[in-house]
């Protein structure tokens, strides 16, 4: 039995670094190229497993080399990949150009992720066996909706990262136990820009943990006003996937029986560790590093 199941996207990030972004129609020489397993679903699964969770990933990759390498990366992090579907459609890819100074462009080709338009029996069975389900919005909305309803009906805790940002149908929010938006996503869904007010609005519909980057997070429920969850003061070098690390580690802690304040503190610590290193899923810390960090600041 997996404590945490992640139904979400798996992409290979194809990252080119350049001195500057090319103009329209222009070809320029790049500097470096690297391939990193990514996609919000895979990132969250890897973060949860590295933090000590028992994690299964439910998603889809192509029957191709990129798919095999993503599965190997998930397995190397300790993630159970037996529920991953192999498709004739190629593995999803994110084509990322990063200029010196951090400006970037990203084109995501969903590929195999886009074939998941309904809840497959293997994925439903994985949810049935889990304590906590992690969802994001990089799969087609119908499967996210179906998974949330399936989990809700069975009492499986459902955590939704509403990224990429989009308005959410009422029935989806009603089936979610905890919504974890960043500032931009919260403003779009709640219809107000101020994070405190957005947290108040969203908390009427489900528990909400609104992340604010280096300013930490706000946690609110229907019965409580938003409370601040402090971030740890660190020097960030790359905040890519900080949110995914935060959610993955939060879920691993909750599934292991931690109370919400303790789970949020572990998630903040893990995200603070991850932003001090370059990379995405590859910068998610192990349980031992999180423990050592928390021991050092206690
Ligand atoms: P991403 O899209 O890059 O995955 P996000 O926008 O979803 O990130 P953020 O709100 O930026 O998520 O960050 C999530 C959490 O990570 C924050 O609530 C905080 O605890 C931690 N964090 C992010 N940036 C920093 C930072 N510079 N220093 C310390 N902690 C940070």
Distance of CA 110 to the CA centre of its chain: 16
pLDDT value, residue 24: 94
Nearest to 6 by CA among 140, 163, 134: 134
CA 291 to each of CA 176, 260, 297: distance values in angstroms, whole numbers, following the listed order: 29, 17, 10
Candidate of 40, 182, 271, 275 to mutate for ligand 1, largest count of ligand atoms within 8 Å of Cβ: 271
Nearest to 234 by CA among 295, 284, 293: 293
Distance 136 CA to ligand 1 centre (A): 16
Strand order in the sheet with 32-38: 32-38, 11-18, 92-99, 104-109
pLDDT value, residue 148: 98
- 194 membership: H or E segment, kind and range: none
Is residue 227 a part of any domain in this protein?
Answer: no
Is residue 61 a part of any domain in this protein?
Answer: yes
pLDDT value, residue 36: 92
Beta strands 11-18 and 60-62 are unpaired
- What gap in Å lies between CA 287 and CA 298, rounded to an integer? 16
Distance 74 CA to ligand 1 centre (A): 22
pLDDT of 108 above 70: yes
Average pLDDT over residues 7-23: 96
Is residue 226 a part of any domain in this protein?
Answer: no
Residue 232 Cβ < 6 Å to ligand 1: yes
pLDDT value, residue 280: 74
Q: Helices in the chain by DSSP H: which ranges?
A: 40-50, 65-76, 121-128, 141-153, 170-175, 183-190, 195-203, 242-255, 260-274, 287-297
Distance 190 CA to ligand 1 centre (A): 20
Instruction: Work out the mean pLDDT of the chain and round it to a whole number.
Output: 95
Is residue 100 a part of any domain in this protein?
Answer: no
Could you report the per-residue pLDDT of 44-93, keeping only the tens digit for each? 999 999 999 999 999 999 999 999 999 999 999 999 999 999 999 999 99
- Could you list the residue range(s) of the whole structural domain that residue 44 is in? 4-11+38-93+110-176+232-297
Three-state SS for 45-101 is: HHHHHHCCCCEEEECEEECCHHHHHHHHHHHHCCCECCCCEEECCCCEEEEEEEECC
- What gap in Å lies between CA 298 and CA 293, rounded to an integer? 9
Is residue 216 a part of any domain in this protein?
Answer: no
pLDDT value, residue 223: 94
Yes or no: say if 293 and 273 are a contact pair by the CB < 8 Å rule: yes
Is residue 23 a part of any domain in this protein?
Answer: no
Is residue 21 a part of any domain in this protein?
Answer: no
In this structure, what CATH number is given to the domain that contains residue 78? 3.40.1190.20
Number of domains in the chain: 1
Beta pairing partners, 220: 208
Largest pairwise CA distance in the chain:
56
Yes or no: say if 80 and 57 are a contact pair by the CB < 8 Å rule: yes
Residue 274 Cβ < 6 Å to ligand 1: no
Sign, CA dihedral 100-105-110-111, equals negative
Query: Ligand 1: which residue has its CA nearest to atom 13?
Result: 213
Residue 272 Cβ < 6 Å to ligand 1: yes
CA 235 to each of CA 274, 277, 291: distance values in angstroms, whole numbers, following the listed order: 11, 10, 19
Is residue 85 a part of any domain in this protein?
Answer: yes
Yes or no: say if 113 and 89 are a contact pair by the CB < 8 Å rule: no
Candidate of 184, 231, 270 to mutate for ligand 1, largest count of ligand atoms within 8 Å of Cβ: 231
Active site residues: 244
Could you report the per-residue pLDDT of 219-268, keeping only the tens digit for each? 999 999 999 999 999 999 888 889 999 999 999 999 999 999 999 999 99
Phi–psi pair at 129, nearest 5 degrees:
-90, 0
């Amino acid at each position: 039995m997996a404590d945490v199941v992640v139904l979400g996207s798996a992409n290979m990030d194809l990252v080119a670094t350049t001195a500057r972004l090319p103009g329209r129609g222009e070809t320029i020489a790049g500097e470096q190229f690297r391939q990193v397993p990514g996609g919000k679903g895979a990132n969250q699964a890897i973060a949860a497993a590295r933090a000590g969770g028992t994690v299964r990933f439910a998603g889809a990759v192509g029957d191709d080399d990129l798919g095999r390498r993503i599965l190997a990366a998930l397995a190397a992090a300790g993630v159970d990949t037996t529920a991953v579907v192999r498709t004739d459609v190629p593995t999803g890819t994110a084509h990322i150009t990063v200029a010196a100074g951090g400006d970037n462009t990203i084109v995501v080709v969903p590929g195999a992720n886009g074939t998941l338009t309904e809840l497959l029996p293997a994925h439903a069975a994985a949810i049935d066996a889990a304590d906590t389900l992690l969802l994001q919005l990089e799969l087609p909305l119908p499967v996210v909706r179906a998974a949330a309803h399936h989990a809700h009906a069975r009492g499986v805790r459902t955590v939704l990262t509403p990224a990429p940002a989009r308005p959410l149908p009422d029935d989806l929010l009603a089936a979610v136990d905890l919504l974890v938006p960043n500032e931009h996503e919260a403003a779009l869904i709640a219809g107000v820009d101020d994070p405190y007010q957005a947290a108040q609005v969203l908390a009427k519909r489900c528990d909400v943990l609104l992340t604010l980057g280096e300013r930490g997070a706000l946690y609110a429920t229907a019965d409580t006003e938003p409370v601040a969850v402090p971030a740890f003061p660190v020097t960030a070098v790359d905040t890519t996937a900080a949110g995914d690390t935060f959610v993955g580690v939060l879920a691993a802690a909750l599934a292991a029986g931690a109370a919400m304040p303790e789970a949020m503190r572990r998630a903040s610590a893990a995200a603070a560790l991850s932003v001090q290193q370059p990379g995405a899923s590859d910068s998610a810390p192990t349980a031992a590093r999180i423990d050592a960090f928390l021991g050092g600041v206690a």
